[in-house]
Structure 1
Amino acid sequence: MTTTEPQGPGLREQKKAATRLALQRAALRMFEENGFAGTTVRDIAAAAGVTERTFFRYFPSKEDLVFGEIADLLPPLRDEILARPAGEPPLTVVLNALLALGGKRPGTGLVLLFSGPPARFAPGPSRPALTVLFDFESGVATALAERLGEPAGGADGSALSLRCSVLARAAVGAVRSAVVAHSDLGDDQPVPGAINALLREAFAVLDS
């Protein structure tokens, strides 16, 4: 008797995934070209070749698309944090992990984190941006704790957890400050180079 091997996602699921990805890519491209405020749901849907009704089947709002992109960055950011050299201080680890991720995944939610509406964390209609901020901070803290492990000398886990929480929130605060500074430069500034320089400056303030 032969057995049938489990198959991958069916055609319907593949089409849904492709549509979701097309909407995300279209949105990210248009946000970069026209800005977040200058891009409508209708624009995104048309660029992806679907209707507005289809857009809302995947995302409750334009803001939710952005927030989802940021949430999707946490797993690869964790990988980057864990892959940094052992001798790097925690804040340097986060900075270099962010820069590395931005270099590997240009045009993703990382750019929106740096230059889109989540930078100012204005509330979205269905998932408040403060929740996204908290989730991002917590994800960075968890990755740092995983990287650092139990410190020598038998310090308890709560001390490590607090340390990583403080470091993560300080790092995200530096990112937010760099984003605000970047937004003040105006749209004529080259986004990747300008934001990277400001990120380094912001993290240097923490080191000082």
Structure 2
Amino acid sequence: MDSPGLREQNKQRTRRAIEEAAARLFGERGFEHTTVRDIAAAAGVGERTFFRYFPSKESLIVGQVRDLIPRLALLLRERPAAEAPYRAMCNAVLTLAAEYEVPPAIFMTGSPKDLTPTSSRTDRLLLRDLEHAVTAAIEERLGAGPDSPELRLRAAVKARAGVAALRGLLAVQTPNTLTTGLTMKQLTALVQDAFAALND
């Protein structure tokens, strides 16, 4: 019998396989033209297995974004102190993306609000959580405490501008415009361009 630790590792591998298969197919075919059956087959699992992990293909995207937020905040905190906020955010995003065999599915589909008309509330909550997490990380980098309103304001503005850069990147990666898989080299260039636009 598998140990609890081994079972958990197998579950994580299966989840990652499903997410990466979805990202590849979304890039090749677009979100609308990719079915759950397609994703399951590409991941080497059955549809029932897919639904054990995700209620729908939309929830796959939302769940992955939720998982990415705390990881991005941690990577941002770990960037060298000498890096300016935008540079640190850019490098944290690239480090996060490099942890995946293929770019995360969110980069292949556009922002969550583009996926379904009913996800606007979810989109707002994800955006709020992302902004709060990035703001907290930048506050820590700047040494902003409760008695540092100017530093806290700077952190809040920098965080929201950085998140806006990411949303701009996602806005051009929609099923209507993306016809081929996005390579890591292409993603790197897009992320760098998005943050460079903040300095124009």
**TM tier, smaller:** 0.7 to 0.9
Q: Is the 8 A contact 1:121 1:129 kept in 2?
A: no
Change in 2 beyond 3 A, CA 1:25/1:205: closer
Q: Secondary structure at the match of 1:50?
A: coil
1:40-88 Cα deviation digits (max 9, x unpaired)? 1111122334332332222121011112112222233223212222222
Larger radius of gyration: 1
Cα distance in 1 between the residues matched to 2:6 and 2:187: 40
Q: Is the 8 A contact 1:119 1:180 kept in 2?
A: no
Name the residue aligned to 2:143: 149
CA offset at residue 94 of structure 1?
Answer: 0.5
Change in 2 beyond 3 A, CA 1:159/1:20: same
Give the letter for the 1:207 counterpart.
N
Give the 4+ runs in structure 1 shifted more than 6 A: none
Name the residue aligned to 2:16: 21
1:38 corresponds to which of 5, 8, 33: 33
Name the residue aligned to 1:137: 131
Cα distance in 2 between the residues matched to 1:167 and 1:34: 35
Name the residue aligned to 1:197: 189
Q: Is the 8 A contact 2:110 2:172 kept in 1?
A: no
Q: TM-score, length-normalised on structure 2?
A: 0.77
Give the letter for the 1:101 counterpart.
L
Name the residue aligned to 1:175: 166
Name the residue aligned to 2:83: 88
How many equivalent pairs are there? 197
Q: TM-score, length-normalised on structure 1?
A: 0.74
Q: Is the 8 A contact 2:27 2:179 kept in 1?
A: no
Name the residue aligned to 1:53: 48
Q: Is the 8 A contact 1:182 1:198 kept in 2?
A: no
Q: Secondary structure at the match of 2:4?
A: coil
Q: Highest relative contact order (Cα 8 Å, sep 6+), 1 or 2?
A: 2
Alpha carbon RMSD of aligned pairs, Å?
3.2
Q: Is the 8 A contact 2:26 2:108 kept in 1?
A: no
CA offset at residue 117 of structure 1?
Answer: 3.1
CA offset at residue 36 of structure 1?
Answer: 2.0
Q: Secondary structure at the match of 1:156?
A: coil
2:73 corresponds to which of 68, 75, 78: 78
1:99 corresponds to which of 76, 88, 94: 94
